[in-house]
Structure 1
Amino acid sequence: MRYRVRHITEYTYGAPVSLCYNMAHLLPRDTRNQRCIHQKVQINPPPVYQKEGEDYFGNQTFYFSIQEAHKKLVIDVSTDFEIVPLNILEEQKYHAMTCGQLRSLLDVPTTPELRMAKEYLLDSPQISNSAELKDYADSTFSDDKSVFQAALAFTHKIFTEFTFDPNTTTVATPLEQVLEQRSGVCQDFAHLAIGCLRSVGIPARYMSGYLETLPPPGQEKLVGADASHAWFSIFIPDLGWIEFDPTNDIVPNEQHIVTAWGRDYSDVTPLQGVIFEGGGSQQLDVSVDVKRL
């Protein structure tokens, strides 16, 4: 399947910004089943400096600086790419590693892959291991259970026990509060799952990207109605990193488009930087359109 993703970010400032420096994670990366074909970045006002790069996690980045006064910043990114479906549910039947076996391998890692995976057991800026998170996940990830089946069951557990509500959390809401109130958005559910998994000794990382949404039968799809999305993945030897989406209770496949991955959201923020002046206030508008070609 071929897709085109168009992501438009608009900042409107209360007063002119005289100078800004920015780094963006807005270019979908190549994965084992996703290949970028063409990409185009348009920035207004035009930057005096712009350079593409790669971060520690292998995600595509681009840096830019604007040195003329502006009250509005527009970043328009369009990417064409191809996704080949994976048969994850079939693959996992032949790799029934248990949670206990995985934890034992991680205790004494003998391969580069295991040693790198251990990094995703550590605390990160927005996710810390805790007794509360461990208690919530412990029974699901007992030693005798298959890692894959346990992750699948835990994805379903979050889906059924939590309510999607964008009005109950912010980007800074602690996981313990999300766990207590049983509500949040996709970022909260991904962070919660990762915190729980790390607390029971299963390596987990944050996945950032897009999810194609389809309109009801007989209705036209609205341009810009798709959204940025977040989910998580876990490491299973021989299978690699396997993705799970607790917001929708599915194993991601061809409708999930990966932009970047890291320890948590702070590693893959779509846009971050520094502005000078700007009046102390700003308005952010984001439009995302995922189109099948």
Structure 2
Amino acid sequence: MLLRVTHETRYAYTPPVETAQHMAYLRPRELPRQALLEHALEITPEPAQRSESVDVYGNGRAFFALESQHDTLVVTARSLVRTHAGATAGPGAADRAWEQVREHYRYRKDAPHDPAAEFVFASHHVPRHDAFSAYARASFAPGRPLFEATLDLTRRMHADFIYDGDSTQVNTPAVQALAQRRGVCQDFAHIMIGCLRTLGLPARYVSGYLLTQPPPGQPRLLGSDASHAWVSAYLPGADGQPGTWADFDPTNGRQPGEDYVVLAMGRDFADVSPMRGVLHGGAGHTLAVAVTVEPADEAGADDTHAGQPPARGP
């Protein structure tokens, strides 16, 4: 599937900002099932400094600095991505009992390094908490294969939780969102990661986009989408074979397919926030985010922007 993504972030500051430094995670990943064909990052006003790098998790990021007074900032990322439906799991990975995987990640002196082990530990937005394991246990019965249990957890969350954009904020604790059974995709991703990690299983946070379909007979509304978030769980291979990361979307109760675009991956939202920065001045601000994801053969219509905050999408 060939998808064109436009992600606009617009800040208005009162009073104006004197100087600022920003980091943007707005470049889609290069992955076996995803090819980045085009990418451009437009910044207004023009920054005095600008550079690109790759972080420890392989995510592309852009740094830029503004050294003159400004009362608005507009950052627009335009990307063309080709996606493919990926394999669900590697050979033997789907059949491993979840307890067997948990035991593999228990600390053992002189054990060989496993990069996935980093994603078993608590992180800024995903603490260890008994509430997570209590909710997860209904899916993780003794001896159940890890893939089957994780997919069941994904579907249970979709059935049990209500999507409510007014019920949480970016900094709402995941334990609180779990207790109220309400939230948005960022909350649901953090809750599911908490469930897996509390059981001793590696899980990471994925930010990206989802192609949404307009109602029958209605045109696609440009700028009306939002960025999305879901979960990637590690499935070790059998008999020493390489394992694989498999994606799960608790917001929609399914595994991501070619209608998803991966932007960045990390321990939680704090690692991959689309935009963050340090400002001198600008004590008050308003934020508007607009995201459009559309098949490339539909792209090119006039952009009318109105959207939702980053990573709090469908």
TM-score by shorter chain over 0.5: yes
Taking the aligned partners of 2:94 and 2:191, their CA distance within structure 1 comes to: 26
Residue 106 of structure 1: how far off its partner (Å):
1.9
Alignment of 1:1-293 (within 5 A): 1-88=1-88, 95-107=94-106, 108=108, 112=113, 115-238=114-237, 239-278=243-282, 280-293=283-296
Taking the aligned partners of 2:232 and 2:111, their CA distance within structure 1 comes to: 22
Taking the aligned partners of 2:197 and 2:16, their CA distance within structure 1 comes to: 44
Taking the aligned partners of 2:171 and 2:37, their CA distance within structure 1 comes to: 35
CA RMSD of aligned residues (A): 1.6
| Structure 2, unpaired ranges of 5+ | 238-242, 297-314
The question of whether the paired residues in 2 share the 8 Å contact of 1:92 and 1:148 is answered with no
Percent of pairs with identical residues:
38
| Structure 1, unpaired ranges of 5+ | none
- The residue type paired with residue 231 of structure 1 is W
The question of whether the paired residues in 2 share the 8 Å contact of 1:100 and 1:142 is answered with no
SS of the aligned residue for 2:14 comes to strand
Residue 176 of structure 1: how far off its partner (Å):
2.1
Q: Deviations over 1:245-268 (max 9, x none)?
A: 000001001111110010000000
Taking the aligned partners of 1:119 and 1:169, their CA distance within structure 2 comes to: 28
Q: Deviations over 1:127-161 (max 9, x none)?
A: 11111111111232234001001001000111111
Residue 175 of structure 1: how far off its partner (Å):
2.0
SS of the aligned residue for 2:227 comes to strand
The question of whether the paired residues in 1 share the 8 Å contact of 2:94 and 2:146 is answered with no
The question of whether the paired residues in 1 share the 8 Å contact of 2:47 and 2:66 is answered with yes
Taking the aligned partners of 1:42 and 1:131, their CA distance within structure 2 comes to: 44
Taking the aligned partners of 1:120 and 1:143, their CA distance within structure 2 comes to: 22
Q: TM-score, normalised by structure 1?
A: 0.95
Taking the aligned partners of 2:219 and 2:251, their CA distance within structure 1 comes to: 24
SS of the aligned residue for 1:123 comes to coil
- Relative distance call for 1:95 and 1:248 in structure 2 (3 A) is closer
Taking the aligned partners of 1:13 and 1:94, their CA distance within structure 2 comes to: 50
Q: TM-score, normalised by structure 2?
A: 0.88
- The residue type paired with residue 64 of structure 1 is F
Taking the aligned partners of 1:37 and 1:231, their CA distance within structure 2 comes to: 23
**Count of aligned pairs between the two proteins:** 289
- The residue type paired with residue 79 of structure 1 is S
- The residue type paired with residue 288 of structure 2 is D
